[in-house]
Structure 1
């Protein structure tokens, strides 16, 4: 019985450690490449990190990939979706000192720029 209790405690501690590790954001490089994005919040959530060579191979097939630009505080400050060698859309982000999104400038496929400002309490949603 003591062995079973000890095993449960060890498993619970290991699970708690694994969850904490999963939630710890990794340090981003200043520029990273991604195969996709998810969600409709801002800043956009980039998914499927790939290498520059993989991004070039995707582009050679005529498909899209994304480029993320990160600041020293590990925040996404710009993302660009590339399609067929051209910018398909772009977001440029500005943040409040507390880390909340202050402003986003979006450029759509036609080159039209839209700027949205947010209060510190606002939750930003995706837009073109």
Structure 2
């Protein structure tokens, strides 16, 4: 989880749902992070699509998602890295159906 995620970084308290991409909720201002042990960094592209997120716990990245999209805006690929550094991925077709995963 060392490669920088490109995009505009914003901060959030939590997320909702299980469908990908995750929906980040309760946006925080940078000055609200000082006393928080856990929060999410969301990275957004020029079209305000979530292209990456990181869950930070006590300053360490515990989970990371990276998203890529088809031209029609449907999720094309997600890469998920857990706290142990294990990486899994899923590919989707233009209709959002899973093509393959690991």
The answer, yes or no, to whether TM exceeds 0.5 is: yes
CA shift, 1:56, in A, is: 2.6
Which residue pairs with 1:13 in the alignment? none
Q: Give the match's secondary structure for 1:57.
A: coil
RMSD in angstroms over aligned alpha carbons?
A: 1.5
Which residue pairs with 2:15 in the alignment? 37
Q: Give the match's secondary structure for 2:33.
A: helix
Structure 1 gaps, min length 5: 1-28
The structure with the largest alpha-carbon Rg is 1
Instruction: Give structure 1 regions of 4+ aligned residues with deviation exceeding 6 angstroms.
Output: none
TM-score (norm. length: structure 2): 0.84
Count of aligned positions: 92
Is the 1:38–1:45 Cα contact (8 Å) retained in structure 2?
A: yes
CA shift, 1:52, in A, is: 1.1
Larger helix percent: 1
Structure 2 gaps, min length 5: 1-6
